[in-house]
Amino acid sequence: MKIFLAVLILTPLHIYSQEVDASDILFLKIQELEGELASLRSELESQAYLIEKLLNEESNQVENKISLDSETDSEVNAFRFEGINDSKSIDEVYDQAISELNEKDFQGAKQSFDYLANNFNDDEKIPLSLFWLGEISLLESNLEESEKFFQRLASDFPDHWRTPLAHKKIGDILMMSGEPDAAKIKYQFVVQTFPENTASSLALQLLENME
């Protein structure tokens, strides 16, 4: 009889213990998921902040180039792509894309930059469009597409002022793709090829962190 009572007393405690264990596991899983979401949100916010910073940098670069001959500038602004029935000039399409980027309409900006990069011919706006396409794809965590845009910029416009950073971005993508050795080679290339560029300082810092 005593044994029977003991079993009756202990059984609810055993069931309660199982319920507590299950609750603890569920709570820990929820915490883990919340941590992953917070990490992803932080990455997206960092990339969005970087895009805003790069936009400001580009704005300063554009202001420094305003000293170009006004007549030449007028001809560029009036340029229309031959063979496409489109009423917008290169500058109009690019300004629209930048406006969409400033408004964080990344899909709209991506479509505008892509349209510009594939339908016009301009040694300044096309590489910039490719750069922003790479940045937006990186924001979307589409590493393969992002690398494609940066590679196209680096190969088609090797002397453009955004090319050093494009090479460094390719190194970042290789690192994120789990290829540290390839990333290291790319960072070393940036340091050796563009020693005076800001991208070189960034690449050097990453190399030091890899040691």
CB neighbour burial string for 69-84, b if at least 16 within 10 angstroms, e if fewer: eeeeeeeeeeeebeee
What pLDDT score was predicted for residue 189? 97
Rounded to whole angstroms, how far apart are CA atoms 210 and 182? 12
What pLDDT score was predicted for residue 112? 94
Does residue 34 lie in a domain region? yes
SS3 83: coil
- Helix (H) / strand (E) element for 79: namely none
Structural domain containing residue 8:
1-66
Does residue 159 lie in a domain region? no
Token pair for residue 153? 């910029």
In the block, which residue shows the tokens 């750069």? 131
CB-side neighbour CA atoms (13 Å) of 125: 24
Rounded to whole angstroms, how far apart are CA atoms 26 and 24? 5
What pLDDT score was predicted for residue 192? 97
Distances (CA, A) of 89 to 64, 86, 116, 149: 22, 8, 10, 22
What pLDDT score was predicted for residue 135? 96
What pLDDT score was predicted for residue 210? 87
Q: Is 178 left (phi over 0), alpha (psi -120 to 50) or beta?
A: left
> Which residues have a Cβ under 8 Å from the Cβ of 130 and sit 6 or more positions away?
113, 117, 149, 150, 152, 153, 156, 157, 166
User: What are the pLDDT tens digits along the chain (211 aa)?
Assistant: 544 444 444 455 444 444 445 555 555 555 565 555 555 555 555 565 567 666 766 655 555 544 444 443 444 444 444 435 454 688 899 999 999 999 999 999 999 999 999 988 889 999 999 999 999 999 999 999 999 999 999 999 999 999 999 999 999 999 999 999 999 999 999 999 999 999 999 999 999 988 8
**Structural domains in the chain (count):** 1
Rounded to whole angstroms, how far apart are CA atoms 131 and 162? 7
What pLDDT score was predicted for residue 194? 96
What pLDDT score was predicted for residue 26? 55
